[in-house]
Amino acid sequence: MTGRIVRGRILTFRDDPRLAGARAWRLIDDGAVSVRDGLIEAVGEARDVLARAPQSAAIDDHSGKLVLPGLIDAHIHYPQTRVIGSYGAQLLDWLNKYTFVEEQKFADSAHSAAVARFFFDELFRQGTTTACVYCTVHPASVDAFFAEAERRGARMIAGKALMDRNAPPGLMDNAQSGYDETQALIARWRGRGRLDYAITPRFAVTSTEAQLEAAGALAAEHRDAYVQTHLDENFAEIALVKREFPWAKTYLDVYARYGLLGPRSIFGHCIHLEDSEVAALAESGSIAAFCPTSNLFLGSGLFDKQRLDKAGVRVALATDVGGGTSYSMLATAAEGYKVLQMGGQSWPATQAFYQMTLGNARALSLADRIGAIEPGFEADLVVLDSHAAPAMAHRMESHEGDLEEELFVLMTMGDDRAVRETYVAGEKVKEV
């Protein structure tokens, strides 16, 4: 491989603009990134990078377009590509009526493989290069997912859902089989290439205490593996958790009791948190995944980012497809902005783009290798065109040269049309 040069307006974050202001990012208007063997070799002014490039290097000229680190989705369900946009239900009914029906099909390897192929095509079309992914209860769904991720060369975190109650028989394991299957999947996939594993008790409602104990044992044995689950999404869900675990003072108590909190634990939604839960999330370094399109679509509620920021809770941004309604992290940020507006909070575009890149990389403890355009980092990139649609180009006419405006147009009006190219480990992967 002779290397590649990606030329454009390089934008990368080094910190959270909420804390560091304009020092948080670096913009190189005529910049270039040189890539070799899947890694970023150099980044800087185009004239300097080009002068040092070998003659044989391919040059992808995206002059005028923004080049950012690939976008990161902290919570998404790959078996829900045919659930997205299902009408008229809130969480528990939505799960029973649509999701649990569709997920049963993933007992079949060929079905799982076909959906995994679609899923990666779609993520890359949207500029997402890393995601934290729920598979179904079936090990076959996990094998199919990781096999496709490996083929695509993408950095992915995923795991088998653990579910041993309150679900159809075709979607249940038991405490022992869920434990054994997870151990086998971890042995097969964890740390292979760019893949990592998330121990995935789906949520407290669908796990017995025995299963949560087994999940805790897995987390204790595999300290650097991730844990992902759902928390405080919906009032009926919370009431059900309190019925199933009468000893728990709060929903989070259930996960805490089994050792499931920590700096690699990602809790989807976190909308209806009690103060003690906020404190426990902060103290344990756990991550709250903000899933705005899902929270609106399922009528779940409004995420309070300011409260979590103030308490020092680590926050990530996520689509939560198929409760979420868009694969696009740009569209997700737009809805995030509106949700925060409803709570009297603001979200400058620079903060939102930090969140989609370095912020989510930090939340996933991956900020030493993805989420920024720095030498030695993995070469996952997205090229964004703020003039991709007529209405965007028209809107930009009065604001050329203003980065904050441009990013806000991209997140408010942008989607896959604005994604000109996606690179995974230095290779072009967007199927137009």
Rule CB under 5 A: which residues touch Zn ion?
A: 268, 320
Site string for ligand GUN, 173-202 (x = CB under 6 A): -----------------------------x
3-state DSSP call for residue 262? coil
261 vs 291, beta carbon nearer ligand GUN: 291
Residues 49 to 78 in contact with ligand GUN, rule: CB under 6 A:
77
211 vs 293, beta carbon nearer Zn ion: 293
- Give the whole-angstrom CA distance, residue 319 versus residue 72: 10
The neighbouring-strand residues paired with 382 are: 68, 422
**Should residue 160 be labelled a site residue for ligand GUN when binding is judged by CB under 6 A?**
no
The first and second tokens of residue 342, run together, are 């409803």
Taking alpha carbons only, the member of 346, 281, 295, 289 closest to residue 323 is 295
127 vs 268, beta carbon nearer Zn ion: 268
Chain-centroid distance of CA 400 in Å reads 30
Residues 304 to 323 in contact with ligand GUN, rule: CB under 6 A:
320, 323
φ/ψ bin of 34: left (φ > 0), alpha (ψ from -120 to 50), beta (otherwise): beta
Q: How far is the CB of 297 from ligand GUN (least distance, A)?
A: 9
Q: How far is the CB of 202 from ligand GUN (least distance, A)?
A: 5
Q: How far is the CB of 94 from ligand GUN (least distance, A)?
A: 8
Q: How far is the CB of 225 from ligand GUN (least distance, A)?
A: 20
Parallel/antiparallel/unpaired status of strands 314-317 and 287-290: parallel
**Number of Cβ atoms within 10 Å of the Cβ of 239:** 12
Query: Of all residues in this chain, which one has the CB nearest to ligand GUN in the complex?
Result: 323
**Should residue 203 be labelled a site residue for ligand GUN when binding is judged by CB under 6 A?**
yes
164 vs 233, beta carbon nearer ligand GUN: 233
291 vs 366, beta carbon nearer ligand GUN: 291
From the list Zn ion, ligand GUN, none, partner contacted by residue 233 (C-beta under 5 to 8 A by kind): ligand GUN
The first and second tokens of residue 326, run together, are 């868009």
Query: 247-269 burial, b for 16+ CB within 10 Å, e for fewer?
Result: ebebbbbbbbbbbbbeebbbbbb
Q: How far is the CB of 100 from ligand GUN (least distance, A)?
A: 9
The first and second tokens of residue 335, run together, are 């809805």
- Give the whole-angstrom CA distance, residue 370 versus residue 139: 28
Q: With CB under 6 A as the contact rule, which of the stretches 25-33, 46-54, 91-99, 180-188 interacts with ligand GUN?
A: 91-99
105 vs 428, beta carbon nearer ligand GUN: 105
Residues 230 to 259 in contact with ligand GUN, rule: CB under 6 A:
230, 233
Q: Where are the alpha helices (DSSP H) in 40-191?
A: 46-52, 91-94, 100-103, 109-125, 139-152, 175-189
Q: What residues make contact with ligand GUN under the rule CB under 6 A?
A: 77, 91, 95, 99, 202-203, 230, 233, 294, 320, 323
